[in-house]
Structure 1
Amino acid sequence: MSTPVRLDKYLADMGIGTRSEVKTYIRKGRVKINGIIVKEPDIKINTISSEVYFDNEPIVYETVEYYMLNKPAGVVSATVDNHCETVVELIKSGRNKDLFPVGRLDKDTEGLLLITNDGDLAHRLLSPKKHVPKVYYARIKGMVTKEDVETFRSGIQLDEDFITLPARLDILEAGDISDIKVTIYEGKFHQVKRMFEAVSKEVLYLKRLSMGELYLDESLAPGEYRKLTEYELNKLKGNE
């Protein structure tokens, strides 16, 4: 069921401009509803059934947004920060002011990050009870061995009161610098880095590839983003 919304609020909410700016646009005849030019900013419209056009481009009313971001290094996983650029600030097309990152990646970590304003979905993905898998690619200083694979599979004690769930460690290339993939089921602070420190190795580069059923679109360069597809969203919500 849709609650009627003032036309100027509708357009402002969808990022067309400020309330005062969109009032000017409306009065200049740049807005159509169901094919008819409307010049009254205070007219009430149905957000579901009304077809709204601005400069002949359709404007669909969205209250919930979902973006896949390929997080670059040097950007912090936060909504605001006094010193560094945040992941939310990268989402230039975001229309809602309440977007936030689902979970966090370290400042120097790259890769998949979901940006949304859907608190329920975020809670489901981050709940410790759900054990949502997260897959990372990493470059490791030191030879990663089969013994490390077994150690990760057994769980690693990181704190006095925390032992990781069994993690999957796949060795892609072993050497003085090793390439690996690792799948973990929690999201503790610096967890992957701390797990390798526990086996006397150092993470040189870290990139998240997937979170649950959401996989990084490799066509996105670091810092680029796009909206989730309907298929991706349904998979993420468990509707597929």
Structure 2
Amino acid sequence: MKIRLDKMLSHLGYGSRKEVKTILKKHELLVNGQRVKDGKVSIETAQDQVFLDGEPLVYEAFVYYMLHKPKGVISATEDIRDRTVIDLIVPEDYRQGLFPVGRLDKDTTGLLLLTNDGALAHDLLSPKKKVPKRYLALVDGIVTAEDQALFAEGFKIDGEEWVKPSLLEILAIDEVNNRSEIALTIVEGKFHQVKRMMKTVGKTVLELHRESMGGLTLDMELKRGDYRKLTAVEVEILQGKAK
């Protein structure tokens, strides 16, 4: 595809078009070996070779990152008080329009997808698509077979808002400390949904971690706060789930 140099540089995180104009004046940008200073020049991304100060620049219309979200950061693009998940992305990996797909609470860890592909994000979050999300949780209280049956049917949370049927798995029971380890797979993304669902049956979520979303499972090699690009196969899996 054809794209203007200033738009390409801006997309790759080098600043606004005004800032890019300054970069083109002060730095060496080569297109197929020829020095270029005019940001209005168009290039063919599949054919032309672009170097900035000796480093190759590769244009990607969309990027997809798998992040292992740590506690203490919020799922937003910017915030005046707290650190955001976007702040975890190093400058060379940042792309214009990058945002988190959905939200994980500040104290929740686990899988979070970051992308600038708005269409895919919309489909992944659409309730109509019923994209599954699996959470692991430590809960204060003993989860029962009756709870499992209720979750399988769907019910009202907070006495007023219906949630769709979900899969509640009991992984371990600690009767001494009155705690349960569970896995919960839901197909919605309501505000604080997992915590509100458990509260409705008299339990309190103590720890919450998202393990998977739409067929994409968190890479166990990623430490909290780390991220990596999705593989081509992983992107295809998400695109398939979003159809």
Give the structure-1-normalised TM-score: 0.88
Gap change, CA 1:137 and 1:33, over 3 Å in 2: same
| Mapped pair 1:182 → 2:178 | no
The whole-number CA distance in structure 1 between the counterparts of 2:180 and 2:160 is: 30
Give yes or no for contact 1:32–1:52 (8 Å, CA) kept in 2: yes
Q: 2:7, 2:163 → 1: CA distance?
A: 48
8 Å CA contact 1:67, 1:226 repeated in 2: yes
CA distance in 2, matches of 1:201, 1:147: 13
Letter in 2 for 1:60: V
Identity fraction in percent: 49
How far the C-alpha of 1:12 sits from its partner, in A, is: 4.6
Give the residue type in structure 1 aligned to 2:172: E
Equivalent in the alignment of 2:35? 39
Q: Following TM superposition, by how much is the alpha carbon of 1:222 offset from its aligned partner in structure 2, in angstroms?
A: 1.0
Aligned-pair distance for 1:161? Answer: 4.4
User: Whole-Å Cα distance in 1 between the matches of residues 81 and 196 of structure 2?
Assistant: 26
Contact 1:137 1:180 (C-alpha < 8 Å) held by counterparts: yes
Segments of 5+ residues of structure 1 without an aligned counterpart are none
Counterparts of 2:223 and 2:53 in 1: how far apart (Å)? 31
- What is the match of residue 223 of structure 1? 225
Cα distance between partner residues in 1 of 2:9 and 2:82: 31
Normalised to the residue count of structure 2, the TM-score between the two structures is 0.87
- Tell me, yes or no, if structure 1 residue 121 matches structure 2 residue 120: yes
Q: Is the 8 A contact 2:158 2:196 kept in 1?
A: no
State the shift of 1:32 in Å: 4.1
Equivalent position of 2:237 in the other structure:
235
Following the alignment from structure 1 to structure 2, what is the Cα–Cα distance between the partners of residues 186 and 237? 18
Aligned residue-pair number = 232
Task: Report what 1:143 is aligned to.
Answer: 142
Indicate if the aligned counterparts of 1:132 and 1:212 stay in contact, CA closer than 8 A: yes
Shift of 1:46: 1.6
In structure 1, distance between residues paired with 2:94 and 2:112: 18
In 1, the alpha carbon distance for the partners of 2:10 and 2:99 equals: 20
More helix by share: 2
Residue aligned with 1:129, SS: helix
